[in-house]
């Protein structure tokens, strides 16, 4: 590939956000080079195309492909209909919606886009179902042995002709939850499983909200453990296995607390996860770092209770959203620094902004700036100097998020320049794709930032070589870069987008 093409792809690339935390490894880092304004959204979707109000899932996340945005919500049409909504990425128009199973126990599972197969996976009820991105047509539907609660699916993109989806089911305080390995690739001689077939499942103890992570042929899954008898665990298994594998390693949390969220697997070979403590203060749980190869613990340090996945930043820093208002804790954003064999907390946003007005020694509502929450997944923007996250609503656990914030992680929360931008009415786990930031809440699903390039020239729901043929033949939406003119720059933008993944595919580094 020539330098010209590399530069063109860099200039015109239209990154996506296919899963909770940005992908199967959950590093939650985007490529946004600039901070989008939150003053006026590019578009807002709060009702369907018949004017019926959409109630977006209070704490679920948003996922973004090259040309569509997907999220879960419901409408009232005689009775409540739970739906997956597919919106046009460029103007928020409804492309399609489809009825899905009702969420169990107010589950906030986030959909996942399988980019290679142009499908979206939805975990709802007791099933994992795949729908086509262009029309919402069901491709396959897989029944699990138990309901899914708060866990989101992931899809591998490094197993070649044998890519898999991974999901956990629910057994919150028993010992019967499972991690499922489900085939998503077409059946072939090397992969004799049909799409949607369960390749294997393994018992993981108790589980609720335990979204798996995958990287380099391994899958990592946290669990509640054996509630009341044994601590939370993290297991590492062979993602390439074709029969139920034994763990390559198992880690027991030395604090005794359980994991109710997922883990982050970094390219540097680290696993980060944080626990949830039902009692105690904003330092009652623990944040841990493990060696991804061996499972050996590098360090454990106190943190706020959370089901959020830690976000690695530049300079060995780790950001963590946690807490709720009450029960000994408050909503916080905490920042830690990794010293190698240990870690320390640099700051806690609630402590940094706290003024004890009534001198009672308690961080009461109105005495500090609330940020984050125990099931909000922050997103690092570009190099990690900016972070976007929601603030949990005053109702607490699953009542959603009241405010979307962008904060400056290079200064302390007490600094006047810490809060870069805020927007009320949204704040659920944001998605960052291209130059845009997306989040949902009581005010609707909002897109912030400039309109992206419209590379789906023939408007068939896909971005592929057919769009270049349509452009060359003078058909479809030819103003790709949306500057009001049709020039060779539109063609260059389209070709760069078509070749965006070529280098990564050749090097085997595509997310």
pTM here?
0.90
Which pLDDT does position 32 carry in this prediction? 81
Per-residue confidence (pLDDT) for residue 475, from 0 to 100? 79
Residue 503 lies in a domain: yes
Is residue 477 predicted with pLDDT exceeding 70?
yes
Mean pLDDT of the chain: 90
pLDDT band of residue 461 (cuts 50, 70, 90) is low
Identify which has the larger pLDDT, 401 or 507: 401
pLDDT: which is higher, 24 or 457: 24
The segment with the largest mean pLDDT, out of 428-432, 448-452, 463-467, is: 428-432
pLDDT, position 507: 44
Does residue 454 carry a pLDDT above 80?
no
Q: What is the mean pLDDT of residues 304-326?
A: 96
Q: What sign results for the dihedral spanned by CA atoms 334, 338, 343, 346? A: negative
Q: Is residue 479 part of a domain?
A: yes
pLDDT band at 471; cut points 50, 70, 90: confident
pLDDT value at position 10? 38
Interval 301-321 mean pLDDT = 97
pLDDT tens figures, 190-227: 899 999 999 999 999 999 999 999 999 999 999 999 87
Long-range contacts of 35-39 (CB under 8 A, 24+ apart): 35/381, 35/386, 35/406, 35/420, 35/421, 36/406, 36/435, 36/436, 36/437, 36/448, 36/449, 36/450, 37/421, 37/448, 37/449, 38/404, 38/406, 38/421, 38/422, 38/423, 38/437, 38/448, 39/421, 39/423
Query: What is the model's pLDDT at position 505?
Result: 53
| Alpha carbon 55 to its chain's center | 20
Check pLDDT > 50 for residue 7. Answer: no
Tell me the longest C-alpha to C-alpha distance in the chain. 73
For 19-33, 65-79, 242-256, 458-472, which range has the lowest pLDDT when averaged over its residues? Answer: 458-472
The count of structural domains within the chain is 1
For residue 231, being part of any structural domain is answered with no
Residue given tokens 């063109």 in the structure block? 8
The answer to whether 378 touches 389, Cβ cutoff 8 Å, is: yes
Mean pLDDT calculated for residue range 463-490: 81
Reported confidence tier of residue 8, pLDDT bands at 50, 70, 90: very low
Q: Is the pLDDT of residue 88 over 50?
A: yes
pLDDT at 453 exceeding the cut of 80: no
Q: Looking at residue 502, what is its pLDDT?
A: 58
Comparison of pLDDT for 469 and 88, the residue scoring more: 88
Note whether residue 476 is domain-resident. Answer: yes
| pLDDT at res. 76 | 94
Mean per-residue pLDDT, 164-177 = 94
Q: Is the pLDDT of residue 241 over 70?
A: yes
Instruction: For residue 488, give its domain range.
Output: 465-507
Residue 402 near residue 392 (C-beta atoms within 8 A): yes
In a domain, 495, yes or no: yes
- The answer to whether position 183 is within a domain reads no
Q: What are phi and psi of 414, to 5 degrees?
A: -75, -10
Q: Is residue 481 part of a domain?
A: yes
pLDDT average, residue stretch 484-502: 77
């Amino acid at each position: 590939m020539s330098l010209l093409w590399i530069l063109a792809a860099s200039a015109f690339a239209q990154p996506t956000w296919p899963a909770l935390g940005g992908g199967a490894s959950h590093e939650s880092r985007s490529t946004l080079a600039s901070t989008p304004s939150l003053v006026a959204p590019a578009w807002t979707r709060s009702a369907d195309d018949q004017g019926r109000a959409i109630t977006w899932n209070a704490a679920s996340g948003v996922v973004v492909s090259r040309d569509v945005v997907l999220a879960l919500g419901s409408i009232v049409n005689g009775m409540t209909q739970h739906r997956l909504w597919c919106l046009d990425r460029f103007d928020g128009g409804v492309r399609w919606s489809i009825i899905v199973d009702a969420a169990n126990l107010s589950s906030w599972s986030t959909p996942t886009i399988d980019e290679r197969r142009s499908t979206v996976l939805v975990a709802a009820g007791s099933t994992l179902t795949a729908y086509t991105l262009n029309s919402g047509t069901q491709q396959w539907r897989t029944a699990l042995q138990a309901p899914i609660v708060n866990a989101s699916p992931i899809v591998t993109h490094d197993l070649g002709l044998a890519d898999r989806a991974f999901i956990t089911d629910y057994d919150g305080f028993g010992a019967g939850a499972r991690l499922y390995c489900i085939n998503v690739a077409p059946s072939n001689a090397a992969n004799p499983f049909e799409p949607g077939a369960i390749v294997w499942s393994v018992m993981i103890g108790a589980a609720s909200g335990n979204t798996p992570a995958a990287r380099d042929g391994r899958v990592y899954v946290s669990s509640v453990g054996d509630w009341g008898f044994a601590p939370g665990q993290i297991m590492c298994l062979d993602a390439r296995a074709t029969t139920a594998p034994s763990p390559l390693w198992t880690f027991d949390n030395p604090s005794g607390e359980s994991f109710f969220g997922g883990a982050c697997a970094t390219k540097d070979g680290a696993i980060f996860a944080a626990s949830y403590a039902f009692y105690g203060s904003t330092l009652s749980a623990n944040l841990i770092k493990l060696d991804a190869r061996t499972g050996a613990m590098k360090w454990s340090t106190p943190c706020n209770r959370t089901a959020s996945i830690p976000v690695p930043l530049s300079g060995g820093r780790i950001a963590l959203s946690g807490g709720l208002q009450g029960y000994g804790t408050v909503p916080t954003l905490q920042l830690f620094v990794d010293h190698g064999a240990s870690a320390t907390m640099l700051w806690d946003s609630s402590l940094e902004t706290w003024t004890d007005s009534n001198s009672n020694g308690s961080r009461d509502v109105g005495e500090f700036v609330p940020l984050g929450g125990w099931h909000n997944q922050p997103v690092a923007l570009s190099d990690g100097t900016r972070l976007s996250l929601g603030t949990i609503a005053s109702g607490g656990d699953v009542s959603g998020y009241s405010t979307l914030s962008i904060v400056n992680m290079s200064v302390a929360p007490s600094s006047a320049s810490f809060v870069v931008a805020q927007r009320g009415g949204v704040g659920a786990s944001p998605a960052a794709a291209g130059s845009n930031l997306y989040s949902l809440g009581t005010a609707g699903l909002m897109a912030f930032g400039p309109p992206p390039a419209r590379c789906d020239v023939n408007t068939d729901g896909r971005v592929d070589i057919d769009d270049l043929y349509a452009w060359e033949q003078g058909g479809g939406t030819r103003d790709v870069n949306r500057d009001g003119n049709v020039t060779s720059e539109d063609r260059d933008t389209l070709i760069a987008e078509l070749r965006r993944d070529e280098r990564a595919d050749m090097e085997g580094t595509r997310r």
